[in-house]
Amino acid sequence: MNDHDNTICAISTPQGVGGIAVARLSGPDAKRTAESLLRGKNGKKTTLRDHHASVCELYYDDRFIDEVVAIYFAAPHSYTGDDVVELSCHGSLYVQQAILQALIGAGCRLAEAGEYTLRAFRNGRINLSQAEAVADLIDSQSQAAHSLAVSQMRGGYAQELESLRRQLIDTTALLELELDFSDEDVEFASRHRLRDMVNELSDKVTRLVSTFQTGNAFKNGLPVAIVGRPNAGKSSLLNALLSDDRAIVSPIPGTTRDTIEETMTIDGVLFRFIDTAGLRKSDDSVEAIGFERAIKAAQKAKYILYVRDVRVPFDDYAFDDIAYVTDQCDIKNKHLFILHNKCDQPHDSNPPGIIISAKEGIGIDKLKRSLADTAHKDASQNGGVLLTNARHYEAMKRILSALDEVRKGLDVDLTPDLLVIDMRDALYHLGTITGKVTSDEVLSSIFSRFCIGK
């Protein structure tokens, strides 16, 4: 990242033509630079006031460029913590580029990707986990993903991290005190009490780690594998869910040879539906590959829709097939829905599960409600605090490992100076999440995800 003392500029709205666009300046000379280009309707120089909007004309080299609305945010009460000026102009691509050229000509530097949010982090406006949540908020494609990003920015996740940090510090402090009074053989907490404190910390971190699969899936779309025997109606179900003829439907078994993936939002939750090849052993090499990919899709999915023909007696093959799917997948961490398809045709059975007709749309709304209700229930686990970031997940696992070493040390009655090493290691890894001990290389990697202008 470039010099933090420079005044930077960028277009903060998406590239393209629109009603308006916003150019943003941030840095020590933001106000002076903007005022050098702005004039009032009477042709006189404009003086910007903190948190006030001013309608101005923007000139560069005495050439009129556009009429703009300028808003000045004085440090530290701005997004970045520096002086910030936002210029709302007309959305013409020419106007946007002309204003950028004027700002650069007046002394600004073009901002790098994520540099505004990086400055907010460095100025203490937000911590690193909140900065990463800004990127997630920008990328959110559903209400659920949006809610998770907002929680990480300002809600339960930040509180959970602070609570964890406080407990780690308190436990470490007890051991540090014993070091300070080592000559006097003072024990500020019994080994039993320390073990309880470490166990409580481990339980809290373990709960967070266990939410990662769900949290990450919510952020990127919950994967739903549609599996079952050939001609059970899997492709028809995908089409019915999407209300579109996305997959080829044919009475010929084995029509679907590869996975087909489509997304849709149900009750604010983004789902990724994956239609798969039929579960049937075959000498056909292509169909065999499709079978393998179907199982892999089920293994990776959070939800499995097992589709069967309701006209076939339930005990003829379904139990064996379902047992095979559950045996191949870690089913305890997934949700399995048994769907009995083709109920629009004559049948005698009334098996447990959801009765549907993908062809006629019967039961599809019930299935969608069941998926959404289950997803919302998953989202509420651990008090609604879910781990969504892979970097945080790895750091949390390292914290768990450090705490495990402390527990082993307590079991063999290690001295406080050795126990403190692992406690400090746990604090270090938590600091990599909040940004207390993050290197410039990590910062560059994180903020490169952002768009220019944010």
What's 44's domain CATH number?
A: 3.30.1360.120
pLDDT of 350 above 90: no
Residue 363 and residue 227 in one domain: yes
Least confident of 168-177, 333-342, 369-378: 168-177
Q: For residues 360 and 240, what is the distance between their CA atoms, to the nearest angstrom?
A: 8
User: Which residues span the domain enclosing 103?
Assistant: 8-126
pLDDT of 84 above 80: yes
pLDDT of residue 369: 95
Closest of 415, 432, 399, 433 to residue 198, by C-alpha = 399
Burial (CB count <10 Å: 0-12, 13-18, 19+), residue 305: buried
Is 283 within the bounds of a domain? yes
Least confident of 157-161, 229-233, 277-281, 347-351: 277-281
Whole-number percent of the chain with pLDDT over 70:
88
pLDDT of 111 above 90: yes
Residue 274 and residue 165 in one domain: no
pLDDT tier for residue 257 given thresholds of 50, 70 and 90: very low
CA 148 to chain centre: 7
Question: Mean per-residue pLDDT for 406-434?
Answer: 89
pLDDT of residue 55: 95
Q: Dihedral, CA atoms, 368, 369, 372, 375, nearest 10 degrees?
A: -110
pLDDT of residue 318: 54
pLDDT of residue 181: 55
What is the rounded average pLDDT for all residues in the chain?
84
Per the model's pLDDT, the better-predicted residue between 422 and 332 turns out to be 422
Question: Mean per-residue pLDDT for 246-259?
Answer: 52
pLDDT of 394 above 70: yes
Q: Identify which of 133-147, 199-213, 240-254, 286-300 has the greatest average pLDDT.
A: 199-213
pLDDT tier for residue 161 given thresholds of 50, 70 and 90: confident
Tokens of 329: 């997948």
pLDDT of 316 above 60: no
pLDDT tier for residue 252 given thresholds of 50, 70 and 90: very low
- Note if the bond before 351 is cis, omega within 30 degrees: no
Is 105 within the bounds of a domain? yes
Q: For residues 310 and 341, what is the distance between their CA atoms, to the nearest angstrom?
A: 5
Q: For residues 181 and 434, what is the distance between their CA atoms, to the nearest angstrom?
A: 32
Is 149 within the bounds of a domain? yes
Residue 227 and residue 371 in one domain: yes
Residue 221 and residue 360 in one domain: yes
Residue 335 and residue 234 in one domain: yes
Q: For residues 193 and 181, what is the distance between their CA atoms, to the nearest angstrom?
A: 19
* Domain end residue (candidates: 126, 156, 181): 126
Give the pLDDT confidence of 22-61 residue by residue, as tens digits: 999 999 999 999 999 999 988 888 999 999 999 999 999 9
Is 262 within the bounds of a domain? yes
CA angle centred on 144, ends 125 and 130, rounded to 5° = 15
Q: For residues 74 and 9, what is the distance between their CA atoms, to the nearest angstrom?
A: 16
pLDDT of 185 above 70: no
pLDDT of 439 above 70: no
pLDDT of 164 above 80: yes
Length of the chain (residues): 454
pLDDT of residue 255: 47
pLDDT of residue 433: 87
Residue 116 and residue 236 in one domain: no
Residue 238 and residue 324 in one domain: yes
Strands 18-26, 8-11: pairing is: antiparallel
Is 450 within the bounds of a domain? no
DSSP codes of every residue in 140-195: --SHHHHHHHHHHHHSHHHHHHHHHHHHHHHHHHHHHHHHHTGGGT--SS-HHHHH
Question: Mean per-residue pLDDT for 249-260?
Answer: 54
pLDDT of 227 above 70: yes
pLDDT of residue 203: 94
Is 237 within the bounds of a domain? yes
Least confident of 250-254, 380-384, 429-433: 250-254
pLDDT of residue 398: 96
Give the pLDDT confidence of 58-71 residue by residue, as tens digits: 999 989 999 999 99
CB 295 within 8 Å of CB 277: no
Residue 267 and residue 371 in one domain: yes
Q: How many domains does the chain have?
A: 3
Strand-pairing partners, residue 269, are: 266
pLDDT of residue 286: 63
pLDDT of residue 194: 85
* Domain end residue (candidates: 96, 126, 156): 126
CB 72 within 8 Å of CB 87: no
Where residue 404 sits, what CATH number does that domain have? 1.20.120.430
Where residue 273 sits, what CATH number does that domain have? 3.40.50.300
Is 115 within the bounds of a domain? yes
CB 178 within 8 Å of CB 416: yes
Residue 258 and residue 376 in one domain: yes
Is 447 within the bounds of a domain? no
Residue 192 and residue 73 in one domain: no
CB 88 within 8 Å of CB 19: no
pLDDT of residue 289: 73
Give the pLDDT confidence of 127-158 residue by residue, as tens digits: 888 888 888 888 888 888 888 888 777 767 88
Q: Dihedral, CA atoms, 357, 360, 363, 368, nearest 10 degrees?
A: 110
Residue 221 and residue 203 in one domain: no
Residue 165 and residue 221 in one domain: no
CB 448 within 8 Å of CB 114: yes
Strands 335-341, 354-355: pairing is: parallel
Q: CB under 8 Å to 18, separation ≥6 — which residues? A: 91
